């Protein structure tokens, strides 16, 4: 029983104290552990756990197919996707490349033509300069997924150089090399899916702001005004918003602020109209249309930058300190052992 | 009561004294203010935990989001729908996730009592394991171990948007009546919150990710903002020592504010030439 | 008047899919017909600050560029990367690339292949790509103390000590500037907390606009020298680099961000109009609601 | 442009449009793309974490590269014998070519760091979760992680998010009155925002008023962050449309047009027959 309940608590408290005070202890091993190894250990444990997660996901998808639950046909796709990724990661490198040794100088242009048949070459002149720089041994920048396509290409260019050798990128590097089967999967399947899911946010941001930015109370109005000013101020169209529109809106804003103080609606209405007439008149008099003498406060990008640099930064700082204290208190409760999630 | 204060502050200043004495030999230089900060913060919170344990009454202002949790699970029970709990997309190395799992154990206790179907999709395998531990224990505490089954907590994918796509799929097909988003979130927060809104679920969010709070505030019914999220599990447990730590946290916050005001005041006086020492250099923060 | 009110109320409760369609069109149309929507781009103070910091660097100084973004955040950050490399290579500055995100490798190799050849820069002499190392802040701390604890080989697998430009570089202190192209965690925050602040190395960042609100406090108290925020920030920096390089007689093709700014502005205008419309219908329904006593 | 690239372009256009079809409604195309994405990403992360974490960082540290004829002590050669056993297992008795455990150890680190046996054990403990009787050992690994998180974040956040912000509480009086005004706004906003986060104080009287001002600053921050985020999201949508337009080029045989029209037709037919199916409640 001790091993199951008390031991984990001892580990958590011990490791917590050791790492917290390890930041201060003047010992290179301790400093090394706290600054580097602690998170590396975590990354290693997390990498082992990933297989646990993948197995759980697979079990559920297979169960769905076996029991023919609703939408079981799609689970086959999930299982196939997982198998394909494991195949491209562990069993099939698909990263063949070709190196040429001592290319005959006059064949360089022909070589570039051959390369452009299998790969888009956006600047042939530069490629020629690159090859001339390393005639002794040059690796063709094209990675072939299948060995057969690499062999076929090496046959077509056999006359170019003294000899043409085929090679395969080492295991482990094949995951990062652009052109291998794994990177093909990354660029043609994984990336479109993840960046399109990300792009869905553009639509959801619109529908969320349409529904949420409503003048319900004063706070919601602040949310709305700050949002709109930032939205328009940060893009070039913000430049085109004329000064008189900004000044009129400002007068309306001030009017809304003082509205509760003035019960007589007619007087309030008069003040607002007076304000608009005054500001517009002043503008025409001092010829604010010329950008040079228009007061900075009336240009929307400046307002948005001010809102962004000061009130928003203040709000961010308050939340940041609040969150930091929340994390500190929670960490302290964990180190004291009075709050345990395991 | 105040002899406790003497004892704790005595120990704290003794530790700081040892630190000062062996500064440079036992302890490295360069982060002295942080060390003093750690000791003072720990002593303060410990003092209030100790105070709360020995029966001192502590007032905690209501947090709207927390009262709504029970109500949301109740509504899901009436409609015979499930409750969805999303513990964020970070791993257990983030304290936000640890706080999210603590809130999950309280929600699981309520779903056990109400016999509602609970669904917890996770983005990390380690979070899946500790969420299972938390749920098993909560169902045990609520006296309904029979209702607990391991796959109530299941793994979807480590990738941020594959996870969001999977959770969206669960939402639109199973239409849970209550959705909880408690943990660390990044850009996918609005994907989840908008989908939850489109199926008409009550949504209660809580996160320490400052950049995602605006989306939760606009798209969810209740949002625990930053520090409220970290205080939530202490609120819900109403164990004396946890509530004491909230009071301690407040006092530390008060100290930070006093420090900021004094730094501002002393620095302004220095700029105006009245004082000649630089407070920041004194505190080692320059 | 009544008819108008009914129209607005009907519009107010319109299906969210109608909004999706509007947003989709507002982005697609300027893309398909770019010449209809061209707008001037004026640099904000933050983007100008980044340009000045890089422009002030002397020839043959050493700059570390860290790629911590992936394909899904590429549209917001890659244009800044391209403009930055154009700027650095045109000033013959040595570029050291690292990646804190696995996808950063693909982004880095793509950026280098797009720009380096244009200036005849040779790998290993003018620029080197050390590749991705997992560990987030652990990597930053490692680079701050000793690069060779973190990297023994570069992305292409050749030994560090065989690379000419790595010879006199032991750790970050030997570098003059750090530029973090960041889309989240690990990112600019880790660079400022664990490298630039403790070691006092100047740093700038180009990041996704959502992350800007977290980074602004660091820019405010000058821990980070300027910031390129999202695609507009990239477009402004592209414009500044393009103008400066044209003066020095170097022709640079117009950056992707500048072209897309028109679509960006149109979408913003549509969203703001939707918000205003939403408020009008909300106001009308609340007024008629009160009168009707529903 | 060999067939793999063209097939790749068509596939990425199809997947992009399938995800976009989610905006219309949950439909077979979105379900297919979602499930494929879940499968591929689970596999992708498993592969990446193995080849960039377990193999180089763990095995690389436990069995670094040694030159074949070095004289190893009795203990060290036994240790590298374990390495050969692991290799034998991973290549299914030599049937697969030698990938995970290359001959004579893994290039990268120079000395064996024995301490990395601990994370190796903790990693195995996590996997023991699959064995019901030994499942509780995983708690030790989780305990290590939670303890590490507490220790690291306590120091990290106190150092960077509290003390650093206290340092920034100063206002520079040398600038013009406008920058002093802004500096004061920054300080007042931060302090009043913090007052809102007081839990053990009733929000009434003077505290209530200050926290009200604090809420105003928070609301401006939320509105501004939202407005700012809209910009980022739109840029990503532009990026996707860029890809779709590029994939519509002649050498890709107008992929986008063909797939888009095919999907619209199929979706129309599917929607027509789809009515009854969504009503029935799922189990």
Kindly provide the ipTM of the predicted complex, given to two decimals.
0.84
Whether pLDDT at B38 is above 90: yes
What pLDDT score was predicted for residue C294?
35
A234 contacts C19? CB cut-off 8 A: no
Q: Note whether residue C60 is domain-resident.
A: yes
pLDDT of D118 higher than 90: yes
Give residue for tokens 């319109």.
C14
A252 shares its domain with A269: yes
Where in the sequence is the domain holding A285, given as residue range(s)?
213-309
Over residues A253-282, mean pLDDT:
84
| C134/A contact by beta carbon, under 8 A | yes
Quickly state the pLDDT bin for A122 (edges 50, 70, 90). Answer: low
pLDDT of residue B171: 95
Query: Is residue B82 helix, strand or coil?
Result: coil
Answer whether residue A315 is part of any domain. no
Give, in degrees to the nearest 5, the angle at Cα C137 between C132 and C140. Answer: 65
Query: Are the C-beta atoms of residues B39 and B137 closer than 8 Å to each other?
Result: no
Under a CB-based contact definition with an 8 Å cutoff, are residues C210 and B187 in contact?
A: yes
Tell me the pLDDT tens digit for each residue of B186-198.
889 999 999 999 9
- pLDDT tens string C67-110: 999 877 888 899 999 999 999 998 999 999 999 987 888 888 88
| Chain D residues touching residue B286 (CB < 8 angstroms) | 167
Cα(B17)–Cα(D242) distance, rounded to whole angstroms?
63
Q: Please indicate if any CB of chain B lies within 8 Å of the CB of C229.
A: no
B129/D42 CB distance under 8 A: no
Does the residue A200 lie in any domain? no
pLDDT tier for residue D68 given thresholds of 50, 70 and 90? low
CB-closest option in C19, C268, C277 to A207: C19
Q: Contact, A297 vs A249, CB < 8 A?
A: no
pLDDT of residue B176: 95
Tell me the mean pLDDT in the region B39-60: 90
Chain C's closest residue to D170, CA to CA, is: C221
What percent of chain A has pLDDT above 70?
Answer: 95
Q: For A170, which DSSP code?
A: P
* C204 assigned to some structural domain: yes
Within-domain flag for A245: yes
Structural domain total, chain C: 1
Contact C101, C69 (CB under 8 A): yes
Please tell me which residue of chain C has the smallest CA distance to D183: C220
How far apart are the CA of A71 and the nearest CA of chain D, in angstroms? 8
Position D244 pLDDT exceeds 80 = yes
The answer to whether the CB atoms of D197 and B226 lie below 8 A apart is yes
Give the Cα separation of D228 and A231 in Å (integer): 6
Residue C292 falls within a domain, yes or no?
no
Q: Does C285 map to a domain?
A: no
Q: Which of A30, A56, A90 is the last residue in one of the domains?
A: A90
D238 and C264 within 8 Å at the Cβ level: the answer is: yes
Q: Could you report the per-residue pLDDT of B203-243, keeping only the tens digit for each?
A: 999 999 888 898 998 889 999 999 999 999 888 988 888 89
CA-CA distance, B271 to B34, in Å (whole number)?
Answer: 26
Q: How far off is chain C from B211, nearest CA to CA, in Å?
A: 7
| Cα dihedral B166→C99→A182→D260 (10° resolution) | 50
CA distance A57 to chain B (A): 6
pLDDT on residue B165: 94
CB C22, CB C270: distance < 8 Å: yes
CA distance D205 to chain C (A): 31
Q: Are residues A98 and A22 in the same domain?
A: no
Strands C62-68 and C177-182: parallel
D249 inside 8 A of chain C by CB: no
Q: How far apart are CA B230 and CA A64, in angstroms?
A: 37
Answer whether residue A262 shows pLDDT above 90: no
Chain D from 101 to 160: CB within 8 A of any C CB: 107-109, 156, 159-160
pLDDT tens per residue across span A287-298 = 777 766 777 777
Q: Is D201 on the interface with B (CB under 8 A)?
A: yes
Residue C203 resides in a domain: yes
Q: Does D226 touch chain B (CB under 8 A)?
A: yes
Residue range B8-33: mean pLDDT, rounded = 87
* More confident position, D108 or B114: B114
* Helices vs. strands in chain D: H and E counts, helices first: 10, 0
Distance from CA of D204 to the nearest CA of B (A): 11
Query: Does A137 map to a domain?
Result: yes
Question: Taking residues B271-282, what's their average pLDDT?
Answer: 80
Q: What is the mean pLDDT of residues B1-18?
A: 86
Does residue A249 fall inside a structural domain? yes
Range 103-162 of D in CB contact (< 8 A) with B: 126, 129, 138-139, 141-142, 145-146, 148-150, 152-155, 158-159, 162
pLDDT in tens, B87-123: 999 999 999 999 999 999 999 999 999 999 999 999 9
Same structural domain for residues A304 and A218?
Answer: yes
Please report the pLDDT score of residue D279 as a whole number: 43
With a CB cutoff of 8 Å and minimum separation 6, the contacts of C36 are C29, C30
- Least confident piece of the model among A172-186, C61-75, D142-156: A172-186
Q: Which of residues 40-69 of C touch D (CB under 8 A)?
A: none
Residues 30-69 on D with a CB inside 8 Å of B are 31, 33-34, 37-38, 40-42, 44-45, 49
Asked whether A119 and A142 are in contact (CB, 8 A), the reply is: yes
Q: Which of C105, C269, C275 sits opposite A237 (nearest CB)?
A: C269
Cβ of B253 within 8 Å of Cβ of A39? The answer is no
Distance from CA of B35 to the nearest CA of C (A): 16
**A35-60 average pLDDT score:** 90
Q: Which of A20, A319, A339 sits opposite B210 (nearest CB)?
A: A319
Cβ of D139 within 8 Å of Cβ of A199? The answer is no
Cβ neighbours of A225 in C, within 8 Å? none
pLDDT score at A37: 87
Residue in C34, C38, C71 to test binding to A, most A beta-carbons within 10 Å: C71
Q: How would residue A125 be classed by pLDDT, with cut points 50, 70 and 90?
A: low
CB contact under 8 A, D57 and C134: yes
A108 and A28 co-located in one domain: no
Q: What does the pLDDT read at residue A48?
A: 92
pLDDT band at residue D15 under the 50/70/90 scheme: very high
Does the pLDDT of residue D276 top 70, yes or no?
A: no
Chain A residues whose beta carbon lies within 8 Å of the beta carbon of residue D142: 8, 341-342
The average pLDDT across C230-255 equals 84
Mean pLDDT of B32-36: 89
Q: Which chains touch B (3 or more CB pairs under 8 A)?
A: A, C, D
CB C205 within 8 A of CB C211: no
Reply yes or no on whether the pLDDT at A328 is more than 90: yes
Which among B92, B126, B285 is the nearest to D163, CB-wise? Answer: B285
Q: How far is CA D190 from the centre of its chain?
A: 31
Q: How do residues C58-73 score in pLDDT, each as one tens digit?
A: 988 999 999 999 877 8
| Mean pLDDT of all residues belonging to chain B | 91
Range of the domain at C193: 45-258
Put simply, the answer to whether A170 touches C39 (Cβ < 8 Å) is no
The yes-or-no verdict on residue C277 having pLDDT over 70 is yes
Residues A44 and A105 grouped into a single domain: no
Q: Which subunits sit against D, judged by 3+ Cβ pairs under 8 A? A: A, B, C
Per-residue pLDDT tens over the stretch C4-27: 777 777 776 677 888 999 999 988
Whether the per-residue pLDDT at C290 is higher than 60: the answer is no
C210 contacts on D by Cβ (under 8 Å): 225, 228-229, 232
Q: Which two tokens stand for residue C152?
A: 């023994």
The two three-digit tokens of residue D44, written as one number = 């992708």
Q: What is the mean pLDDT of residues D75-80?
A: 84
- pLDDT score, position C196: 84
Task: Tell whether the model's pLDDT for residue C30 goes beyond 80.
Answer: yes
Question: Of residues C216 and B82, which shows the higher confidence score?
Answer: B82
Asked if the model's pLDDT at residue B1 lies above 60, the reply is no
To test the contact with chain C by mutation, choose from A32, A99, A167, A234 the residue with the greatest count of C C-beta atoms within 10 A, namely A234
CATH at residue A99: 3.30.1390
Which of A191, A217, A333 best tests the B interface by mutation, with the highest count of B CBs <10 A?
A333
Chain A residues with CB under 8 Å of C133 CB are none
Q: Nearest-CA neighbor of B69 among B87, B83, B88, B82? A: B83
Question: Which of D30, D133, D148 is the best substitution to test chain A (most A C-beta atoms within 10 A)?
Answer: D148
For residues A121 and A86, state if they share a domain: no
Whether residue D72 contacts residue D58, with contact meaning beta carbons closer than 8 Å, is answered with no
Query: Which chain A residue has the Cα nearest residue B219?
Result: A208
Does any domain span residue C96?
yes
pLDDT of residue A123: 60
* Contact residues on chain A for B25, CB-CB shorter than 8 A: 26
Q: Helix %, strand %, coil % for chain A, to 5? A: 75, 5, 20
- Does A159 share its domain with A236? no
Mutate: best of C23, C102, C184, partner B, most B CBs <10 A: C184
Boundary of a domain, candidates A151, A175, A199: A175
Q: Is residue A39 situated within a structural domain?
A: yes
Assigned domain for A324 exists: no
**C217 interfaces chain A, CB cutoff of 8 Å:** yes
| Domain containing residue C73: CATH number | 3.40.50.10160
Mean pLDDT (chain C, rounded)? 84
- Of the listed ranges A214-218, B8-12, C212-216, the least confidently predicted one is C212-216
Measured between beta carbons, which residues in chain C are less than 8 angstroms from residue D52? 102, 132, 134
| Interchain contact C75–B (C-beta under 8 A) | no
CB contact under 8 A, D52 and C20: no
pLDDT digits (tens, 9 = 90+) for C159-195: 788 888 888 888 888 999 999 999 888 899 889 888 8
Residue at C218 is within a domain: yes
Listed range (A196-210, B15-29, C147-161, C171-185) with the worst mean pLDDT: C147-161
Does the model's pTM come out above 0.90?
Answer: no
In tens, the pLDDT along B121-177 reads 999 999 999 999 999 999 999 999 999 999 999 999 999 999 999 999 999 999 999
The Cα–Cα gap between B16 and B23 comes to: 10
Q: Provide the pLDDT for residue A342.
A: 66
Reply yes or no on whether the pLDDT at B11 is more than 80: yes
In a domain? residue A193: no
Closest-CA residue to B177 (of B99, B86, B265, B80):
B80
- Nearest by CB: A215 against C73, C266, C279: C279
Partners of residue C184 in chain B, C-beta under 8 Å: 186-187
Mean pLDDT of chain A: 84
Q: Is residue C36 part of a domain?
A: no
Residues A50 and A112 in one domain: no
Please count the structural domains in chain A. 3
């Amino acid at each position: 029983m001790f091993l199951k309940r008390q031991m984990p608590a001892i580990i958590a408290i011990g490791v917590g104290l050791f790492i917290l005070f390890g930041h201060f202890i003047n010992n290179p091993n301790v400093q090394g552990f706290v600054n580097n190894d602690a998170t590396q250990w975590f990354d290693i444990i997390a990498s082992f756990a990933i297989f646990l997660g993948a197995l759980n996901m697979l079990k559920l998808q297979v169960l769905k197919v076996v029991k023919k639950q609703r939408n079981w046909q799609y689970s086959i796709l999930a299982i196939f996707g997982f198998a394909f990724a494991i195949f491209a990661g562990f069993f099939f490198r698909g990263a063949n490349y070709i190196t040429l040794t001592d290319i005959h100088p006059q064949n360089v242009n022909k070589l570039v033509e051959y390369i452009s048949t299998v790969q888009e070459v956006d600047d042939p002149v530069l490629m020629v300069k690159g090859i001339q720089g390393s005639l002794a041994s040059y690796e063709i920048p094209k990675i072939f997924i299948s060995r057969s396509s690499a062999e076929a290409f090496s046959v077509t260019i056999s006359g170019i150089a003294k000899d043409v050798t085929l090679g395969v990128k080492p295991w482990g590097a094949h995951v990062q090399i652009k052109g291998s089967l794994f990177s093909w999967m990354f660029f043609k399947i994984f990336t479109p899916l993840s960046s399109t899911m990300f792009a869905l946010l553009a639509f959801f941001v619109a529908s969320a702001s349409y529904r949420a930015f409503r003048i319900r109370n004063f706070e919601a109005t602040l949310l709305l005004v700050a949002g709109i000013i930032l939205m328009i101020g940060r893009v070039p169209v913000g430049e085109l918003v004329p000064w008189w529109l900004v000044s009129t809106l400002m007068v309306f804003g001030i009017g809304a602020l003082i509205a509760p103080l003035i019960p007589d609606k007619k007087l309030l209405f008069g003040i607002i109209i007076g304000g608009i007439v005054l500001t517009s008149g002043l503008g025409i008099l001092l010829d604010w249309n010329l950008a040079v003498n228009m007061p900075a406060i009336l240009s929307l990008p400046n307002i948005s930058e001010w809102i962004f640099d000061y009130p928003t930064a203040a709000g961010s700082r308050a939340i940041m300190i609040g969150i930091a204290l929340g994390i500190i208190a929670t960490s302290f409760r964990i180190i004291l052992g009075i709050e345990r999630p395991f | 009561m105040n002899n406790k204060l003497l004892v704790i502050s005595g120990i704290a200043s003794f530790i700081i004294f040892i630190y000062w004495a062996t500064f440079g030999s036992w302890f490295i230089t360069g982060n002295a203010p942080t060390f003093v900060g750690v000791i003072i913060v720990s002593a303060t919170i410990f003092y209030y935990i100790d105070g709360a344990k020995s029966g001192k009454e502590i007032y905690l202002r209501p947090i709207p989001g927390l009262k709504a949790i029970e109500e949301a699970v109740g509504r899901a029970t009436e409609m015979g729908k499930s409750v969805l709990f999303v513990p964020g997309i970070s791993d257990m190395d983030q304290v936000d996730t640890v706080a999210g799992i603590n809130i999950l154990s309280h929600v699981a206790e309520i779903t056990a009592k109400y016999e509602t179907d609970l669904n917890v999709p996770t983005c990390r395998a380690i979070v899946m394991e500790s969420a299972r531990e938390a749920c098993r224990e909560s169902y045990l505490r609520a006296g309904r171990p029979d209702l607990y089954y391991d796959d109530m907590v299941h793994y979807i994918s480590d990738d941020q948007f594959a996870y969001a796509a999977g959770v969206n799929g669960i939402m639109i097909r199973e239409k849970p009546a209550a959705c909880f988003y408690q943990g660390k979130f990044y850009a996918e927060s609005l994907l989840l919150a908008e989908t939850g809104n489109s199926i008409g679920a009550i949504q209660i969010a809580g996160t320490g990710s400052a950049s995602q709070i605006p989306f939760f505030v606009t798209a969810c019914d209740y949002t625990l903002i930053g520090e409220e999220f970290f205080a939530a599990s202490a609120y819900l447990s109403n164990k004396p020592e946890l509530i004491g730590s909230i009071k301690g946290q407040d006092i530390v916050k008060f100290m930070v504010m006093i420090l900021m005001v004094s730094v501002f005041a002393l620095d302004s006086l220095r700029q105006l030439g009245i004082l000649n020492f630089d407070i920041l250099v004194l505190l080692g923060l320059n | 008047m009544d008819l108008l009110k009914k129209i607005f109320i009907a519009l107010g409760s319109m299906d969210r899919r109608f909004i999706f369609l509007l947003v989709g069109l507002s982005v697609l149309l300027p893309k398909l017909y770019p010449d209809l929507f061209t707008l001037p781009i004026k640099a904000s103070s933050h983007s100008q600050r980044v340009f000045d910091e890089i422009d002030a660097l002397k020839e043959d100084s050493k700059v570390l560029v860290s790629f911590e973004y992936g394909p899904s955040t590429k549209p917001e950050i890659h244009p800044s990367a391209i403009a930055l490399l154009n700027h650095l290579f045109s000033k013959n500055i040595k570029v050291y690339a690292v990646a804190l995100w696995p996808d950063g490798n693909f982004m880095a190799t793509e950026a280098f292949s797009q720009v380096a050849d244009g200036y005849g820069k040779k790998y290993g002499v003018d620029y080197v790509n050390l590749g991705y190392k997992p560990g987030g802040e652990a990597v930053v701390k490692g680079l701050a103390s000793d690069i060779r604890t973190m990297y023994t080989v570069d992305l292409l697998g050749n030994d560090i000590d065989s690379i000419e430009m790595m010879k006199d570089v032991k750790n970050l202190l030997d570098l003059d500037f750090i530029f973090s192209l960041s889309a989240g965690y690990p990112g600019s925050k880790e660079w400022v907390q664990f490298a630039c602040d403790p070691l006092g190395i100047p740093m700038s960042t180009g990041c996704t606009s959502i992350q800007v609100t977290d980074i602004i406090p660091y820019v405010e108290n000058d821990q980070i020298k300027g910031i390129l925020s999202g695609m507009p920030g990239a477009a402004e920096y592209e414009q500044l680099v393009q103008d400066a390089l044209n003066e020095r007689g170097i022709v640079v093709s117009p950056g992707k961000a500048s072209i897309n700014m028109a679509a960006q502005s149109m979408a913003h205008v549509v969203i703001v109009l939707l918000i205003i419309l939403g408020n009008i219908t909300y106001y009308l329904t609340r007024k008629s609601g009160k009168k009707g006593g529903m | 442009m060999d067939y793999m690239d063209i097939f790749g372009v068509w596939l990425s256009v199809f997947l992009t449009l399938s995800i976009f079809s989610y905006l219309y409604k949950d439909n077979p195309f979105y379900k297919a793309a979602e499930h494929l994405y879940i499968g591929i990403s689970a596999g992708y992360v498993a592969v990446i974490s193995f080849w960039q974490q377990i193999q180089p960082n763990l095995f690389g540290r436990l069995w670094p590269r040694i030159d074949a004829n070095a004289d190893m002590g009795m203990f060290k050669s036994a240790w590298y014998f374990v390495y050969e056993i692991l290799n034998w297992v991973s290549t299914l008795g030599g049937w697969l070519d030698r990938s995970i455990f290359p001959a004579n150890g893994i290039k990268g680190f120079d000395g064996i760091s024995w301490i990395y046996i601990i994370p190796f054990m903790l990693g195995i403990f996590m996997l023991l979760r699959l064995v019901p009787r030994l499942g509780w050992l995983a708690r030790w690994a989780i305990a290590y992680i939670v303890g590490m998180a507490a220790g690291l974040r306590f120091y990290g956040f106190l150092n960077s998010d509290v003390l650093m912000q206290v340092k920034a509480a100063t206002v520079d009086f040398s600038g013009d009155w406008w920058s002093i005004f802004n500096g004061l706004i920054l300080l007042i906003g931060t302090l009043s925002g913090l007052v809102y986060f007081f839990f053990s104080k009733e929000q009434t009287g003077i505290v209530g008023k200050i926290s009200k001002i604090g809420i105003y600053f928070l609301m401006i921050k939320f509105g501004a962050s939202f407005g700012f985020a809209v910009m980022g999201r739109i840029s990503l949508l532009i990026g996707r449309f860029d890809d779709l337009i590029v994939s519509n080029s002649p050498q890709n045989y107008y992929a986008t047009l063909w797939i888009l029209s095919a999907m619209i037709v199929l979706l129309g037919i599917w929607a027509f027959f789809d009515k009854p199916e969504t009503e029935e409640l799922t189990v």
